[in-house]
């Protein structure tokens, strides 16, 4: 009986969450797009080069055996999206669905992330770039270990240095703590921009920590969903995207 009540509670939470993120639509006549960072590039120029370098990096990820995850994974999950994205989402590491498909955020948390990107922010998944701090699935969905993160980090840094986004959204504590090199709780870090230096030669990029979609799915509350929405609105303002009043 208690189990049934709990199941119903979880189900209702998920329905509410779904409604929350489908409730937002960006009212704009223009197709949603991230404000351009640079004048349009001629075809077959820099964009193609970046895409080529990103796919080369995918091959390197596929060949990587620097940590134990290289031998336990089914497929590497290097990341995917717009090579010239102004906005990059960085998660923790692939789960079972991602491991099976070789694509980031395609399971339940991915469905929520898609809603945040499309319904709440008014973008398309193909407008942004999505990746993780580790590119191979940690078994049993455990958190990636420090040595795994350290050996995988050069891949993420290379991705960020090729894409050069204007904003990075870190989903959850492991991604945030890794990029900001801190142990502070995500609750203290989220809600404001931090600076992240991709390399010594360029201006720091704005980094917004927020809760991981799987945390929201597990700990649904009006307060948590409001916090994620506030974080995304701050990102949208920074990118010059229209923010719905609601």
Interacting residue ranges for ligand URA, rule: CB under 6 A: 91-95, 98, 104-105, 107, 109-110, 132, 214
Residue closer to ligand URA (CB basis): 58 or 241: 58
Q: What angle do CA 17, 89, 185 make, to 5 degrees?
A: 75
We find the least distance from the C-beta atom of residue 246 to ligand URA, in angstroms, to be 27
Cβ-based neighbour number of residue 233 at 10 Å: 16
We find the least distance from the C-beta atom of residue 214 to ligand URA, in angstroms, to be 6
Output the six-digit token pair for 203. Answer: 């201006």
CA-CA distance, 24 to 137, in Å (whole number)?
A: 32
Residue closer to ligand URA (CB basis): 118 or 214: 214
Distance of CA 234 to the CA centre of its chain: 16
We find the least distance from the C-beta atom of residue 49 to ligand URA, in angstroms, to be 26
Residue closer to ligand URA (CB basis): 98 or 148: 98
> What is the DSSP secondary structure assignment for residue 103, as one 8-state letter?
-
Output the six-digit token pair for 155. Answer: 């891949």
Residue closer to ligand URA (CB basis): 75 or 119: 75
- Of 181, 229, 211, the closest CA to residue 22 belongs to 229
We find the least distance from the C-beta atom of residue 200 to ligand URA, in angstroms, to be 28
The residue sitting closest to ligand URA, measured at its beta carbon, is: 91
């Amino acid at each position: 009986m208690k189990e049934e009540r709990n199941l119903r509670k979880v189900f209702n939470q998920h329905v509410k969450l779904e409604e929350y993120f489908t409730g937002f639509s960006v009212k704009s006549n223009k197709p949603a797009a991230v404000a351009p960072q640079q004048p349009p590039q001629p075809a077959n120029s820099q964009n193609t080069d970046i895409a080529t370098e990103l796919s080369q990096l995918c091959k390197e990820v596929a060949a990587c055996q620097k940590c134990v995850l290289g031998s336990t994974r089914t497929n590497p999950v290097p990341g995917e999206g717009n090579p010239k994205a102004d906005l990059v989402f960085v998660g923790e590491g692939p789960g079972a669905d991602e491991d099976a498909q070789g694509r980031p955020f395609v399971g339940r948390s991915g469905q929520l992330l898609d809603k945040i990107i499309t319904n709440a922010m008014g973008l398309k998944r193909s407008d942004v770039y999505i990746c993780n701090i580790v590119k191979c699935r940690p078994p049993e969905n455990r958190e990636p270990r420090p040595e795994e993160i350290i050996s995988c980090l050069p891949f993420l840094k290379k991705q960020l240095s090729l894409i050069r986004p204007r904003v990075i959204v870190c989903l959850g504590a492991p991604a945030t703590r890794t990029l900001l090199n801190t142990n502070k709780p995500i609750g203290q870090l989220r809600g404001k921009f931090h600076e992240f230096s991709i390399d010594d030669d360029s201006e720091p990029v704005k980094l917004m920590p927020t809760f991981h979609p799987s945390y929201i799915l597990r700990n649904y509350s009006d307060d948590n969903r409001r916090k994620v929405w506030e974080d995304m609105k701050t990102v949208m303002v920074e990118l010059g995207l229209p923010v719905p009043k609601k």
